[in-house]
Structure 1
Amino acid sequence: MSNGPNSREETSIDTLSSSEPLIPSTFPRVVYLQNTCASCDAPLDTSEQDLNFVHPTIFCTLNQTTDHLPLACGSEACGQKIPDLQGLKQHCHAAKHESFKCGVSTCQQTLSGDRWSLEKHFQHHPEVKFRCNKCQIGFDTPTKLDQHCSSSNHAGYHCPYPNCNSECGQSRDLQKHQLIHKKTTARYPCNHCRAYRGMNGFKRKDHLRQHIRKYHRIEDYDFNEYCYHGSCYHKSFQSLEEYTDHTLQEHQSMPYICRQKDCDRKDMNGFANKNELEFHAKNDHALPYRCSFLACDRVGTKGWRRKVDMAKHMAKKHGQVVEAATVL
């Protein structure tokens, strides 16, 4: 994707009339037509839709059981009750029914909510863009914004939740982050302690996995590892014990070894688990990206593995914007 000053995406917002206001990227592109529950007429909680969550949940404020259906098709001839927005969009797409209205306040067009009809409709709204949170360049789709963020190291997405300053470089990362703000979401309980069960369970599975590995020291929870040796490359294993037996017997090597070129922690001088390898890498090897300010201690083992993390530090701590091309 081209990121020069003449690229189509970057000039798309510049060609707008100066009197035509840009609509911020944190607004719902489509809005569900009803504001009361389809099953009991109680008010609906639409806060996640109003905050423009990537996948918002709309639910009845009175009854949240699984058999209570809060949404309904907007077609008078249909009126089918449906449990969630994803199911409603699928139904409207298949039946060609319209249960949503355009999120632009001055537009009264009703829509089915599926991706293709939205892309076609928003061609009539050139002022609506997915805008990078750092440089404010507008893009027609999240995919194009993702590509821009990857090439420029910009954290182009910001969480719209009140008092949350989190930033993400990809739309999928924003979607994962927003799970911590959801009022109704699947919970992942820890079966090894009482502190994180029931409503105190983790909202994200990767957070549960991290908790079990670091707090309970159980390395093979949800284990899925691949052999890196050429003779059986990508052979998968479902437990640390199985993976260790394989590397010892077939390759005369510990399961985890350091990949640094001149490091001797390889073969039988490797590590028994991933935590030991990460500790070694953090404390024994200088990380590739460091802060260029002489008075800053973020160098050597206190540096970063990723360019984007170093660029964030330079911008927040030193007020210096570092583009991808200048990060060495």
Structure 2
Amino acid sequence: MDDTRMAQRPLIALAMGDPAGISPELAARLLVSKRVNEAARLVVIGDRRILNDGATAAGVIPELQSVSLSDVGLQTVTAHAFLDLGNLSPADVRKGEAALIGGRFAVENFRNALELGRDGKVDAVCFTPFNKKAMRLAYPGYDDEIRFIADVLQFRQKMREFNVLEQIWNARVTSHIPLSAVASHISEEAILAELDLTRTCLIQAGITEPKIAVAGLNPHAGDGGSFGMEEIDIIEPAVARAIDKGWQVEGPFPADTVFLTALKRGFHAVLTMYHDQGQIAMKMMGFDRGVTMLGGLPFPVCTPAHGTAYDIAGKGIANVGASEEAVLLAARMAAQGKAASARL
């Protein structure tokens, strides 16, 4: 693709993740991906030496323009580019190990990417996988990406993690909390807020009339109160209120069949009550294609749903499919956002 055509594509900041895993290889593979080239421009953030190691492992030779932090902008970056922070030597990386240096590298890259998004210099942000242990070593307040983003951007509005496959999204009412605390965190207002944000993000991704299935909390969705009252007391009233708002929402469905129901009946998303209730199903359906999208921000933030894959780091066999899907989703959402703004 020539630079003129490529300059019309959304500009996405790609923060390099944990250098001890497959992140360097994934970044290199994205830069030569035909699907990515047709959808977006990438400005990769990290250390060029680390990217070169990843490219060597992957057996690819990316073509990149070099940019400085002050150069990055929607008009100035006309093709894939690299922002070299010079922040890590490959000689200091021990493949397959979570370490402070890897966490520092990922934190600095991600912080710069988010600030570019905040300042309107890129349309979206993506990142290759982080290791949470390494991130906590480098940033003691790190719980997850949501907490880090909120800290960096001083963002105090509602933000939520979604898992996405081509055919269906998974939203959830609770996320990174102990299972023992889930029931106490479920309320009508919490469910309605998640449904509202899910609808907004689906619309931003180009789905004009989202259909959402809501899972129950208890076995068999409570079985009429035999196994718990949350469905009757909380979830059913929340669904009724959503329907009153004109939203296409149904449930609660038993959690062990809700995804089968959703796929069969053409729902666009499933709202689950807790983390693993949806994550297990989504990863079984498409571990190599799943995307995590952080919704509610002024710009899309996407990443592959899998982890750092320390066991295959540097072997040149990492599957880039989920990373491609993350970039493509971010590009679609950014393009939809621009189109919506142009209509105002």
* TM-score bin (small chain): under 0.3
Taking structure 2 as the reference length, the TM-score comes to: 0.25
Structure with greater helix percent: 2
**Structure number with larger C-alpha Rg:** 1
Structure with greater strand percent: 2
